Chain A
Amino acid sequence: MRKTECLAMILAGGQGSRLGALTKKIAKPAVPFGGKYRIIDFPLSNCANSGIDKVGVLTQYRPLELHNYLASGSAWDLDQKNGGIFILPPYAREKGADWYQGTADAIYQNLNFIDLADPEYVLILSGDHIYTMDYSWMLEAHKMNKAEATIGVIEVPWEEAPRFGIMNTDKTGRIEEFEEKPAKPKSNLASMGIYVFNKNFLKKYLEEDAKDETSSHDFGKNIIPKMLKDKARLYSYAFEGYWKDVGTIESLWQANMDLLQDQPPFDLKGEKKIYSSNESMPPHYIGPDAKVKNSMISEGSMVLGEVENSVIFPGVRIGKGVKVTNSVIMPSTVIRDGAVVDYAILAQNCEVAAGAKVTGQLGAITVVAEGETVEAEASGKQAG
């Protein structure tokens, strides 16, 4: 492998258990978002747009669909002779096999891959956030600060700060203290779960951590606090812009709805394109009696009924007399004539029978799991 300056490692093995029915069959990074994308498109497109051409994707939970989606990486221009995408599931060794025990352990188990790529810096990303960011600026800041580690941070509202890992920094941005979910936060700079490490520095800490049986092998809980304790040069890199954790049903729904504002806080049509791997589908068809308002609709869909305040993914069928409002309808789902869908997320390949009702409410979004059918008589609330 050709030597690379900065290797990206995307942690994509999480189950995303708070997404409930949506992650029964697929890993969280493979969950559809924004009318045609999957969550992992965002860090991958950011890599492609930041000039990072070597990306390891660590998978573990229900990886089949994710592996299938990533394929050769060509959708993100990551099918390259000297680099590209490397899919890294856990593997067996001569003395048995280990699952990834935590974020740090996942990277530790792939240290030989990192050695093979031989980068100066390792960029660690998670596959759960919606944002666009040019990582090359963060890398520049890391070099200028002569840092050993740099952590991406974002200002969050003070009242929400107790939900995050909070960084307390000095005037130069050097991190003095890290508090995981503090009751009385001293700052509102939350960790985004984005780290740049000097490779050898990272390797040393991962190897030490692996030997520590009391550790839960997590960057936020173990590695970063240990580095701070050793007075290592840890800096923060402040990110300004839209950044959303879509780890829960409500936040996933809200992030989709954010896209529908007249001037959306997060513009998918921004300067840097978001790439995704999609089947070839025709432009969508809007029927003679259809009404579409304040919505996003993607290719291959057919809309004969009404759609308002909703996000419609590719290949969706919306029959005559259907009313879809305040909802997210994922790929290839069929909603038959006269059905009503309100405040709901319908996963892929679902079917809503003619005249059936799927309704939730703000704060209690109804979810229909992948491949399920909602019959007319069983209408009403589904398990959220």
Chain B
Amino acid sequence: MKDVMGIINLQEDNKLIRELTDKRAVESMPFAGRYRLIDFTLSSMVNSGILNVGVMLPDKPRSVLDHLRSGKDWDLARRHDGLFYLPSPSEEESIRKGDLKNFYHNLDFFEHSSQKYVLLTSGSFVYNVDFSQMLRFHQNTSADITMVYYTAKEEQPGRNVVLETAENGLVTDMAEKPAIYDDSKVAMNVYLIEKRIFVELVRYTYEHGGQDLLMDGIIRRANEYNIYACEHDGYVAHVDSTSAYYKANMDLLQPEVWEELFMGSNSIYTKGKDEVPVQYKETAKVKNSLIANGCVIRGEVENSILFRGVTVGKGVKIKNSIIMQKCDIQDDSLVENVICDKNVVISKEKWLKGANNYPLIITKNVVI
């Protein structure tokens, strides 16, 4: 895999997840108690043996930069190769929409890298994938482009690229659909392409008026390339809406999903925080929950995810909720079906309740 360079595209449209992404890119959303979404694809790359990773910065890059820093936590602070940031061009340079302009303006980085292949992924997926198997598949099929898909198990709304493939994995059709159905083959926004072909694809498409890499570069020109797809049969979640975010977090309360994502031979890495182990006091009652280090618990917590450094007071009841870093839930409050962003304070005896299918969102730093 040392012949593959990774690119993580952080240019996702995040309108559906507005309240939580007001000040950050969707890819740097806190997830699963201590991670950020980008950790999953980045750790998968590193565990697959990729040593050179470029991150296409989003429009609000601060939280991504603060999280990844030198790349040390992913072993990417290296003498050669390692982690690179690819900023988007300034507005004067390009008024065109879409992500293609960012690739086009950073073609230098691709051309100067020594690797033969490019692995392009999106930072808004939750998975733990070994991409080295994908490289073998790519070489065996002599594909120009190899994609990865998962087979949907239930109907879900949300724009997704759905594939049709022949038995050997050859992609026979590819289209963006408004929803997915049972048994749909859903693309995971992962592409393995020989660098030479990738550079040509970006340059040609952009110079001919293209805006979006997937729509204008790949789907519209699909018949010019040999496109194959392989299946990932492990856990996948695409966090493209508030409800998908909530559901993906809650999925981790299934021990099988927790085991598969985190406890296998390939770890998911993240920025270290040196928090102390969780302190459960005399009055604590916790059931079916994920609790991150640094929490101090005196109340009840059920079916919930507590991020690092959350304080739960006496007499508190937290149910079906996601409570992010450093929130302070004070005595005798009730919190149900709620997503609390970072540093929220819920003072004594407050009752907050969202609907079962739509959580109430409390934005960052709010005091209630």
Q: How far is the CA of A293 from the CA of B276 in the complex (A)?
A: 17
B-contact bits for A306-322, CB 8 A (1 contact / 0 none):
01000111000000000
Total residue contacts A-B, CB cutoff 8 A: 114
Contact A274 B276 (CB under 8 A): yes
Within 8 A of A (CB), among B263-282: 263, 267-270, 272, 274, 276-282
Contact for B286 among A273, A276, A292, CB less than 8 A: A292
Within 8 A of B (CB), among A273-287: 273-276, 278-287
Q: How far is the CA of A300 from the CA of B291 in the complex (A)?
A: 10
* In the assembled complex, B151 has its CB within 8 A of some CB on chain A: no
Q: How many A residues face the partner with a CB closer than 8 A?
A: 41
Contact A293 B267 (CB under 8 A): no
B-contact bits for A108-124, CB 8 A (1 contact / 0 none):
00000000000000000
B-contact bits for A194-236, CB 8 A (1 contact / 0 none):
0000000000000000000000000000000000000000000
Q: How far is the CA of A294 from the CA of B280 in the complex (A)?
A: 5
* In the assembled complex, B133 has its CB within 8 A of some CB on chain A: no
Q: How far is the CA of A27 from the CA of B166 in the complex (A)?
A: 59
* In the assembled complex, A188 has its CB within 8 A of some CB on chain B: no
Contact B280 A282 (CB under 8 A): no
Contact for B282 among A274, A284, A293, CB less than 8 A: A293
Residues of B within 8 A of A80 (CB): none
Contact for B278 among A274, A276, A284, A302, CB less than 8 A: A284
Q: How far is the CA of A299 from the CA of B34 in the complex (A)?
A: 10
Residues of B within 8 A of A299 (CB): 34, 277, 292-293
A-contact bits for B296-312, CB 8 A (1 contact / 0 none):
10000000011100000
Residues of A within 8 A of B209 (CB): none
Residues of A within 8 A of B258 (CB): 282, 285, 302
* In the assembled complex, B262 has its CB within 8 A of some CB on chain A: yes
* In the assembled complex, B123 has its CB within 8 A of some CB on chain A: no
Contact A286 B287 (CB under 8 A): yes
Residues of A within 8 A of B307 (CB): 283
- Beyond known contacts A280-B73, A283-B293, A284-B290: 9 more, CB 8 A cutoff: A275-B274, A280-B272, A282-B34, A282-B261, A283-B305, A285-B290, A287-B287, A299-B34, A299-B293
Residues of B within 8 A of A292 (CB): 280, 284, 286
Residues of A within 8 A of B255 (CB): 285, 287, 302
Contact B262 A287 (CB under 8 A): no
Contact for A296 among B262, B268, B277, B289, CB less than 8 A: B277
Contact A35 B276 (CB under 8 A): yes
Contact A287 B288 (CB under 8 A): yes
Could you write out 7 A-B pairs with CB less than 8 Å apart?
A34-B276, A36-B276, A75-B272, A274-B276, A282-B258, A282-B290, A286-B290
* In the assembled complex, B253 has its CB within 8 A of some CB on chain A: yes
Q: How far is the CA of A300 from the CA of B280 in the complex (A)?
A: 16
Q: How far is the CA of A342 from the CA of B270 in the complex (A)?
A: 35
- A166 shortest CB reach to chain B, Å: 34
Contact A293 B277 (CB under 8 A): no
Beyond A282-B268, A283-B32, A288-B287, whether A36 also contacts B277 by CB under 8 A is yes
* In the assembled complex, B72 has its CB within 8 A of some CB on chain A: yes
Beyond A36-B277, A274-B276, A299-B292, whether A279 also contacts B267 by CB under 8 A is yes
- B83 shortest CB reach to chain A, Å: 16
Within 8 A of B (CB), among A258-277: 260, 262, 268-269, 273-276
Beyond A282-B32, A282-B263, A284-B290, whether A35 also contacts B277 by CB under 8 A is yes
Which chain A residue has the least Cβ–Cβ distance from B72? A74
Which chain B residue has the least Cβ–Cβ distance from A45? B274
Which chain B residue has the least Cβ–Cβ distance from A279? B267
Contact B280 A297 (CB under 8 A): yes
- A202 shortest CB reach to chain B, Å: 33
Residues of A within 8 A of B288 (CB): 286-288
Residues of A within 8 A of B210 (CB): none
Contact A280 B278 (CB under 8 A): no
> SS class of chain A's interface: helix, strand, loop or mixed?
loop
Residues of B within 8 A of A262 (CB): 281-282
Which chain A residue has the least Cβ–Cβ distance from B292? A283
Which chain A residue has the least Cβ–Cβ distance from B287? A288
* In the assembled complex, A87 has its CB within 8 A of some CB on chain B: no
Residues of B within 8 A of A307 (CB): 280
Contact for A300 among B262, B274, B296, CB less than 8 A: B262
Within 8 A of A (CB), among B128-151: none
* In the assembled complex, B82 has its CB within 8 A of some CB on chain A: no
Q: How far is the CA of A287 from the CA of B259 in the complex (A)?
A: 13
Contact A268 B276 (CB under 8 A): yes
Which chain B residue has the least Cβ–Cβ distance from A315? B263
Residues of B within 8 A of A298 (CB): 277-278, 293
- B293 shortest CB reach to chain A, Å: 6
* In the assembled complex, B359 has its CB within 8 A of some CB on chain A: no
Residues of A within 8 A of B274 (CB): 273-276
* In the assembled complex, A290 has its CB within 8 A of some CB on chain B: yes
Contact B306 A283 (CB under 8 A): yes
Residue of A276, A282, A312 most packed against chain B (CB within 10 A): A282
Residue of A274, A280, A289, A299 most packed against chain B (CB within 10 A): A280
* In the assembled complex, A132 has its CB within 8 A of some CB on chain B: no
- B272 shortest CB reach to chain A, Å: 8
Contact for B290 among A283, A294, A295, A312, CB less than 8 A: A283
* In the assembled complex, B33 has its CB within 8 A of some CB on chain A: yes
Q: How far is the CA of A277 from the CA of B347 in the complex (A)?
A: 35
- A273 shortest CB reach to chain B, Å: 5
- A309 shortest CB reach to chain B, Å: 10
Contact for B269 among A280, A283, A288, CB less than 8 A: A280
Q: How far is the CA of A302 from the CA of B288 in the complex (A)?
A: 10
- B148 shortest CB reach to chain A, Å: 23
Within 8 A of A (CB), among B223-274: 252-253, 255, 258, 261-263, 267-270, 272, 274
- B318 shortest CB reach to chain A, Å: 13
Q: How far is the CA of A289 from the CA of B267 in the complex (A)?
A: 27
Within 8 A of B (CB), among A157-171: none
Residues of B within 8 A of A34 (CB): 276-277
Residues of A within 8 A of B278 (CB): 284, 296-298
Residues of A within 8 A of B286 (CB): 286, 290, 292
Q: How far is the CA of A212 from the CA of B166 in the complex (A)?
A: 85
Beyond A282-B268, A282-B290, A283-B306, whether A269 also contacts B280 by CB under 8 A is no
Q: How far is the CA of A274 from the CA of B35 in the complex (A)?
A: 21
Contact B276 A295 (CB under 8 A): no
Contact B284 A282 (CB under 8 A): no
Contact B280 A284 (CB under 8 A): no
Contact B281 A281 (CB under 8 A): no
